[in-house]
Amino acid sequence: MVKCFPECKEKEIEHLIKKYKARNKELDKKISDLSQQLQGCQKNVMSSGRTEFSHSPIIYMVTPTHTHSEQKANLVRLSHTLLHVKNIHWIVVEDSVSKTVLVSKFLQNSGVKNTHLAALTPHEIKMKYNDPTWLKPKGVLQRNAALQWIRENVKPNRDGGVVYFADDDNTYSLEIFQEMRNTKKVTVWPVGLVGGLRYEKPVVKDGKVTGWFTYWKPNRPFPMDMAGFAVNVNLFFKFPDARFSNEVPRGFLESTILEQLNVKMEDLEPRAENCSKVLVWHTRTEKTKLKNEQLMIKQHGQGSDTNIEV
């Protein structure tokens, strides 16, 4: 056995250090190469995403809203859905003489591209707090204000797009926005929890709408909920006088606007797997009972701090 002297061990250690440094240099080069490849892939993905985004038709989503205790909660919930939807322009129209601070601040911080408008409903046709929801047409002047903005600001031949009328307390699957994205004229689909039924829907046969599954006034021209259709934006330019009206009978808002756009049954484009899937629900936010506010004032001299935004 050869005895190894200290100088022998020192040379062996130096050799190992050189080998280690060479290996580290090789690994550093591999890491650098992989990092460059990763950056290239990220650029390709971002470029692809921008291309898809730019060629994806815009959805102009019109949402009427009014001042009430649950307003901000409704808008927050809806905005969190819209944050996941590409190429959407949210047109929020307040039933007010002017835009309120609450909604203005909310929209500024929502992260969703939006336009904020105001259109006041006259007192004589405005619903009272305790009126049943079906008593009078709602959101009429607000939707018309949004249509006016679209006609004044959208270039249909350049921008294209789809118009969807979406109440702030409904529930929307992300899928429904993809279903309406490429609307040629008018797309339709089922709506859940509406009309006293589990759902209402167009009846589809061989890819065409042939009738309606609904109980209430089934003989209406288009017996469906506002959340159950989307319209190609070009139709609102082709028929510039088409608008909603407070003068229509109960339940005829949808039918009236579609008739003004000269839509026929054969024009309807069924979506959601030939109207076999529910992707939007006509949910309603319960009115909050705030009777204890008055009791707090009576017993303690003050209620909630009105400076705290709810």
Query: Which residues does the annotation mark as catalytic?
Result: 254
Query: In degrees rounded to 5, what are phi and psi of residue 260?
Result: -65, -25
Q: Distance between CA atoms of 76 and 82, rounded to whole angstroms?
A: 10
Binding residues for Mn(2+): 169
DSSP bridge pairs for 205: 208
Number of Cβ within a 10 Å radius of residue 188: 26
208-213 and 197-205 beta bridge pairing: antiparallel
Give the chain as a DSSP string: -PPPPHHHHHHHHHHHHHHHHHHHHHHHHHHHHHHHHHHHHHHHHHHHHHHHHHHSPPEEEEEEE--STTHHHHHHHHHHHHTTSSSEEEEEEESSSS--HHHHHHHHTS-S-EEEEE-PPPGGGSPPTTS-TTSS--SHHHHHHHHHHHHHH--HHHH--EEEE--TTSEE-HHHHHHHTT-SSEEE--EEEETTEEEEEEEEETTEEEEEE-SSSTTSSS---GGGEEEETHHHHHSTT----TTSPTT-HHHHHHHHTT--GGGEEE-HHHHTS--EE---PPPPP-HHHHHHHHHHS--S-TTS--
Binding residues: 169
Q: Distance between CA atoms of 220 and 168, rounded to whole angstroms?
A: 25
